[in-house]
Structures are given as structure tokens and as C-alpha cells.
Amino acid sequence: MSRWSDVPSTVRMLMLPLIRFLGKWFCRTVVLIGCVGFLMILIAFTRLPYDAHHWLGTANGTCTVAPAAIVVLGGSGMPSGPELLRLELAARIGAKFPQAVVHVLHVDDTASLRLMRAELILRGIQADRIEVQGHGTSTRAQAMLYREGHPDLVQRRIAIVTAPENMYRSVGTFRKVGFDSVCGAAAFERALFVDLDYSIEELGGTWMAPDVSGSTDLRYTFWNYLKLEITCFREYLAIAYYKLNGWI
């Protein structure tokens, strides 16, 4: 028998331990993913995701007095739900404190910046009160650039307007770069206080589908909380990353 005929059996003999090792860890990974998924489903039936999300939006301080500047942190396209929520809240704060300037910080996207500025004007903010900054692709970079451009605000109060899940990290970041007085105004979504029950008989349901017409928790709350778990988990990892870098 030639040497070349022995190659396949030799390769199989060498690969067998590796295949067994990878197979063992693959099985463990599948089990771990299954356990995590099951745990997330269980948690989604509780209010823990809501509380975790609310904590991110309020734990680093909320605004109670008049700010000198209202800083809107962007990040999504425009128009989009997250941006419109932030701009609507910034406009309400701006109407309450007419002496405050409104600064919009976003990535270098001139179309989005133009639309965000127009949205603020549409909601009653005077054009000469608005300033846009189209630089910085992270909260850390935006905070550093904002401090360079506005050293006069370092010792004055600024209100950060962003999504609730980003608030804890954003306020901490601005404090770290030198702003002495920073408060947060989280753009929470508004709850819908409407009875969403329906009659499956009136809508022509079939016996094959379960009747969940009277269970809004199963139809909406469960899925919303499941999404909040992923949102919060991502943000807690981002907070840990910022802490490791000394950015908050």
C-alpha cells in the first residue's frame, strides 16, 4: 500500500479528537443559548425589563431647574421614531425655558441635521436658538467636540435629551469630559391608555387559533418587554465598555 493511500485515514485519525472537542462545545453552546432564551422569556412576563429601562433613563439625574443649553443627541436617521421623540421633548423643554439654546449633536449627515433643525422650528423653537454639530460618531466623541466648541457652558447647566436607554451613559460621558452640571431628559415613549380587547367571534376567527382577544399582556406587553431586554442588555455592555475605557 502506498503512502498516499494512508493519507485519508491519517487525517481522519488526527481530526477525530478535534471533531469530538468541537462537538462537545457546540452542544454546550446550544444548551447555553437555550437556557438564556428560556430565561429571557420568563423575565418578559415580569416588569423587570421595564424597571431596568426606566433606571437607565433616570438613574444619573433628571432635570429640575432651568438649563442654559438643551443638547439633543441624535443617532438614527431622520425622520424616525427615536429622533422625533427626542426633538418633540427638546421642543417642549425649549418652550418651558425660552432662554436656553438648543444644540443638536449628530453624525455628519447633513440631510438629517437639516430635517432635525426644521422639526424644531416647526415645533416652535426660533431658528436663532438652534445650533447643529455634525461631527462625532460616538457619545464620547460628541461630548469631547461639544466641550471644545462650547467652553463657556462647562460650568453652566445643560440638559441632555436622548433615548432612555442611552441616558445613563450620556450624562456620565458629558460629566467626564468636564461639564460640571448635567441633567438628563429621557425621551420615553408614551403609553396608550386604550382598551385594546376585541371579539374574535365578530372578527371571524377560527378554532385553530387560540383566543387572545382579551389578553393585551400576551399580545403586546410580553413582546415589548422582550425587546426591552435586548435593548437594556446591549446598553449595559456599552456602559461596561465605557467604564473600562474610563469614559464615564
Express as a percent the part of the chain with pLDDT over 90: 57
Of the ranges 31-40, 217-226, 227-236, the best mean pLDDT one: 227-236
Sign of CA dihedral 220, 88, 140, 99: negative
7 or 15: which leads in pLDDT: 15
Residue 201 lies in a domain: no
Instruction: Supply the pLDDT for residue 7.
Output: 61
Residue-number span of the structural domain to which 131 is assigned: 62-191
Which CATH number does the domain housing residue 123 bear? 3.40.50.620
pLDDT at 217 over 60: yes
227 within some domain = no
pLDDT score, position 2:
54
Name the domain count of the chain. Answer: 1
DSSP structure class, residue 188: P
φ/ψ bin of 246: left (φ > 0), alpha (ψ from -120 to 50), beta (otherwise): left
pLDDT at 3 over 70: no
Would you say residue 19 has pLDDT above 50?
yes
Query: What is the predicted pLDDT for the residue at 76?
Result: 79
Quick check: is 148 in a domain?
Answer: yes
Instruction: Check if the beta carbon of residue 126 is closer than 8 Å to that of residue 98.
Output: no
Residue 1 has pLDDT above 50, yes or no: no
Q: Give the model confidence (pLDDT) of 53-110 as tens digits.
A: 999 999 888 888 899 999 999 877 888 888 999 999 999 999 999 999 999 999 888 8
Higher pLDDT, 7 or 31: 31
Q: What digits encode the pLDDT tens for the residues 238-248?
A: 999 999 999 99
Residue 4, phi then psi, degrees to nearest 5: -65, -30
Is residue 236 in some structural domain?
no
> Is the residue at 231 inside a domain?
no
Domain assignment of residue 97, yes or no:
yes
pLDDT one-digit tens code per residue, 48-65: 999 999 999 998 888 888
- Residue 117 within any structural domain of the chain: yes
The answer to whether 93 touches 121, Cβ cutoff 8 Å, is no
pTM exceeds 0.75: yes
pLDDT of res. 70: 96
Q: Give the pLDDT mean for 130-138.
A: 89
Mapped onto helix, strand or coil, the DSSP state of residue 185 is strand
C-alpha cell at 211: 383566543
Query: In the structure, what pLDDT confidence band is assigned to residue 198 with cuts at 50, 70 and 90?
Result: low
Question: Does the residue 210 lie in any domain?
Answer: no
156: number of Cβ within 10 Å: 13
- Mean pLDDT over 194-215 rounds to 70
